[in-house]
Amino acid sequence: MSSSSSSAQPELPSGISRCCVTGFGWSGTPTGTALSAGSIPGTTNAVYKTGTNPRVAILIIHDIFGWTFPNVRLLADHYAAEANATVFVPDFFGGFVCPPELVLEERWAEIDIARFMKENAREVREPEIFAFAKALKSAEGGGFEMVGAVGYCYGGWAIFRLAAAEHEEGSGDSEGNGKKLVDAVTTGHPTFVTKEDIERVSKNVPVQVLAPEFDPRYTEELKTHTFVTLQKLGVPFEYSHFPGVHHGCFIRGDERKEGEKEAMVRGKNAAVAWMKQWLHGN
C-alpha cells in the first residue's frame, strides 16, 4: 500500500465526507483520464481510464455510486499501479449519477429507486457490459491479452455473468477451452446475483469473493451456495470473509464505521493479489 506525507487531498463533490476518500492514505487527485462515450471502439460508454499496460486490463463495474465517485477512481488507480494493468471504469448507468451523499447517509426515500432499477435492469445493462469486455480483447479496443473484472454491489451479478461458461460454448477447442470474455474475476458484496448465475460459471475463470459478515444482499444462503457450487464445478476460487463489517464497506471505507477503512484496504490488497496471480502468473 502506498502512502505519502503530502497533505493534498482530492477535490470532493458537495456533501461527501472526506473520511470516505482517505482509506488508503492517498494524496492528490485520481491520476487517470475521463474519456467521452464511445472512445473505446466497440463500446458506447464514457469511461475512466488509468494505467498503461498494453497487455493486461482490468474492467471495474461500479455500484450505485457510479463511475464518477472518487473512491472507485482511487481504487482503479491502485489496481493500475499495484496490479500492473490498464484499468477501465465505464459508465454503465447511461449518464445517471446518484448523489453520493444520499447513499452515504442512507436517505433512500430521496432516491428514485424504481426508476433506477428500471433503467439499469440486468437485461438493459448486460449487453453493454459484455460488449465492453469483448472490446478490450479486440484489436480495435486495445487487444489486451488478459482481462480481469472487478465488481462491487450492483456490479457483482455482472461479474458472475462475465465468467459464465456460455461464452465458451461453440467456440472451444478439443479440450473444451473456448473464448472467454474475462480471465479472472473479483466481486465484493455482490447484489442481484442469483444461484443460477453462480451455477453457470466457467471452470476456466477463477473467481474471488470478498464477503462482509453483515450483508442482506449477499445472504448466508447465497454465500454457502457460492462456496459449495464453485467447488463442485472445479472453479479455482478464493472466498474471503470480513468479520464485523457491512455491505458496501469495500467502496465506502468510512473511518466513522468500525473496521470499515481496514476492510477496504484489505479488500483492495486481496483483489490486487488475485489479479496479479491470474493475469500475470505471479
Residue 10 has pLDDT above 70, yes or no: no
Listed as own residue / partner, the contacts of 215-221 with beta carbons closer than 8 Å and 24 or more positions apart are: 215/189, 215/246, 215/247, 216/247, 217/153, 217/189, 217/190, 217/191, 217/192, 217/247, 218/156, 218/189, 218/190, 218/191, 218/193, 218/247
Q: Which domains does the chain have, with CATH numbers?
A: 31-278 (3.40.50.1820)
Q: Which of 169, 86, 92, 103 lies closest to 131 in space, CA to CA?
A: 92
pLDDT at position 233 over 70: yes
Assess contact for 74 and 31: CB atoms under 8 A: no
Per-residue pLDDT of 183-215, as tens digits, reads 999 999 998 999 999 999 999 999 999 999 999
Report pLDDT digits (tens) over 129-166. 999 999 999 999 999 999 999 999 999 999 999 999 99
Average pLDDT over residues 57-61: 98
pTM above 0.85, yes or no: yes
Average pLDDT, the chain: 85
Using CA atoms in the order 153, 154, 158, 160, what is the torsion angle rounded to 10 degrees?
A: 30
